[in-house]
């Protein structure tokens, strides 16, 4: 249905006190309807372009951030992890390295693992700048972190499929020692956190499992908080242009 529009026209043949009304022709109605249809089509096209742009910004922001995290955690892996990989890979398979890389990336103590903290910060900054909005930066940061969790879970599943038998582990590779493992930032953090608990339990008091788990939950939260906060900063520095 449409509403008929009546136009007031000046007609010399009409009296001065009389208003003459002309009913619009069919051509006029078609022109008005076509104009409305064209405007509606333009709005729909703009909305479609905006939706595609928003999705593309988030996708490429996530891709860039994930590549930075994967490359940084892979090539900047501490020497202690390399020792563990050489030791465990013959028994557990090739997915030991991805699992160790993700452990190093996901469990970050900001006090003794500044390298991975900087990697996550850089990934968030780049991803946020590409996303261009604070909401997009949040999505990019969360999905990047969750992708690393998924990679770690997949690696553990693949090692489980090959069969885990720690009773048949080979000896440590030549030229390496258990001291190399102690240089891993996560191992150092675990020792620093567990020694006070062990000393507290020496007097006969029980150790609360929550006290053991809490530090690792904090380490797990550090990457996601870092990548989201720096992503929002990146989106503020370089906001996306509106179409």
Q: How confident is the model at residue 39 (pLDDT cuts 50, 70, 90)?
A: low
The pLDDT of residue 221 is 96
Is the residue at 6 inside a domain?
no
Is the residue at 31 inside a domain?
no
Mean pLDDT of 171-175: 78
Cα separation, 223 vs 123, whole angstroms: 10
Q: How confident is the model at residue 118 (pLDDT cuts 50, 70, 90)?
A: very high
Could you give the number of structural domains in the chain?
1
The pLDDT of residue 147 is 97
Is the residue at 186 inside a domain?
yes
* Listed range (8-17, 46-55, 117-126, 211-220) with the worst mean pLDDT: 8-17
Q: How confident is the model at residue 226 (pLDDT cuts 50, 70, 90)?
A: very high
Is the residue at 178 inside a domain?
yes
Closest CA to 184 of 132, 235, 119, 116: 116
Phi, then psi, of 108 in degrees rounded to 5: -120, 120
Q: Is 163 left (phi over 0), alpha (psi -120 to 50) or beta?
A: left
The pLDDT of residue 128 is 95
Closest CA to 108 of 215, 229, 220: 220
Domain span holding position 231? 53-195+204-237
**Could you identify the residue written with the tokens 């008929």?**
4
Average pLDDT, the chain: 80
Is the residue at 102 inside a domain?
yes
Is the residue at 18 inside a domain?
no
Is the residue at 226 inside a domain?
yes
Which residues, 6+ apart, have CB-to-CB distance to 121 below 8 Å? 226, 227, 230
Is the residue at 243 inside a domain?
no
């Amino acid at each position: 249905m449409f509403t008929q529009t009546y136009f007031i026209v000046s007609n010399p043949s009409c009296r001065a006190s009389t208003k003459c009304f002309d009913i619009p022709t069919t051509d006029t109605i078609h022109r008005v309807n076509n104009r409305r249809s064209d405007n509606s089509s333009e709005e729909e096209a703009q909305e479609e372009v905006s939706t595609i742009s928003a999705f593309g910004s988030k996708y490429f922001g996530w891709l860039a951030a994930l590549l930075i995290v994967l490359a940084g955690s892979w090539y900047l892996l501490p020497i202690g992890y390399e020792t563990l990989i050489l030791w465990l890979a013959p028994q557990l398979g090739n997915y030991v390295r991805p699992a160790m890389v993700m452990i190093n990336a996901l469990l970050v103590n900001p006090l003794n693992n500044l390298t991975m903290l900087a990697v996550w910060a850089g990934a968030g900054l780049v991803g946020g700048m590409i996303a261009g909005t604070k909401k997009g930066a949040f999505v990019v940061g969360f999905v990047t972190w969750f992708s690393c969790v998924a990679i770690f879970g997949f690696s553990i599943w693949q090692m489980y499929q090959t069969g885990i038998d720690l009773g048949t582990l080979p000896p440590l590779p030549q030229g390496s020692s258990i001291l190399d493992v102690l240089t891993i930032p996560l191992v150092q953090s675990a020792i620093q956190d567990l020694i006070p608990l062990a000393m507290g339990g020496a007097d006969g008091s029980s150790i609360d499992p929550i006290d053991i788990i809490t530090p690792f939950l904090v380490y797990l939260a550090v990457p996601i908080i870092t990548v989201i906060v720096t992503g929002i900063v990146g989106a503020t520095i370089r906001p996306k242009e509106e179409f």
